[in-house]
A and B are shown apart, each in its own frame.
Chain A
Amino acid sequence: AQSVTQLGSHVSVSEGALVLLRCNYSSSVPPYLFWYVQYPNQGLQLLLKYTSAATLVKGINGFEAEFKKSETSFHLTKPSAHMSDAAEYFCAVTIYSSASKIIFGSGTRLSIRP
């Protein structure tokens, strides 16, 4: 079975500081990994996805994530936080043989301090 664990339900950083949101996955087969963002009262928007190509994945809004198989991690980073980055972020996993469900983590709420 596949699962993801997001470390830290709430992360607070200052505007301009590095953003680091942690995600560890569990999968018995090669996974596909995603980061989604959810703004208040809105649906989920895909930030980036890893599909077994490059291990460093660049997404929208300056975010990127690195797939590390040895650490079973897929942490999300952004060099400089912006006030508009305040939102809920979800790490998620699926496997290539299951073209259906995505398994989501419990989410990390990112707050940006002025």
Chain B
Amino acid sequence: DTGVSQNPRHKITKRGQNVTFRCDPISEHNRLYWYRQTLGQGPEFLTYFQNEAQLEKSRLLSDRFSAERPKGSFSTLEIQRTEQGDSAMYLCASSPYRLVQETQYFGPGTRLLVL
């Protein structure tokens, strides 16, 4: 069990560019979550997958954001036409699907800075 991994750990981009982040969950965890954390705040839910199906999306996830989990393993989060307000830490978590109170295990996050 190597834990949840995220790449890259840091990303600096210019406004208007597209960025893509990758999350590799703990193997055999069929639920995968994305959260966004801005400075001084707690994480905010963005979306989650059960296997390859995206089951819920937050209203925070504008049309510029898209997430995929094509084979039910790793996931990608893409932000198109980045804005300075997108600067944040993007956290990925995974959990097994049994009961709702299953622990979500978090990765180290990808810190995005939009200049």
- A63 beta carbon closer than 8 Å to chain B: no
Q: Which residues of chain A have C-beta atoms less than 8 A from B56's C-beta? A: 100-101
Q: Which residues of chain A have C-beta atoms less than 8 A from B58's C-beta? A: 101
- B104 beta carbon closer than 8 Å to chain A: yes
Number of residues on chain B facing chain A (CB within 8 A): 27
Q: Does the CB pair A43–B108 fall under 8 Å?
A: yes
Number of A-B contacts (CB under 8 A): 65
- The answer to whether A107 and B41 touch (CB under 8 A), given A43-B109, A44-B91, is yes
Q: Does the CB pair B91–A101 fall under 8 Å?
A: no
Residue of B with least CB distance to A105 = B42
Q: Which of B41, B43, B108 contacts A42 (CB 8 A)?
A: B108
- Separation in Å of the A61 CB from the closest CB of chain B? 16
- A51 beta carbon closer than 8 Å to chain B: yes
- Separation in Å of the B46 CB from the closest CB of chain A? 9
Q: Does the CB pair A106–B106 fall under 8 Å?
A: no
- A74 beta carbon closer than 8 Å to chain B: no
B residues adjacent to A (C-beta < 8 A): 4, 31, 33, 40-45, 48, 55-56, 58, 91, 93, 97, 99-109
A residues adjacent to B (C-beta < 8 A): 9, 32, 36, 41-46, 49, 51, 90, 92, 94-107
List of 3 A-B pairs having minimum Cβ-Cβ separation, nearest first: A104-B42, A101-B45, A43-B106
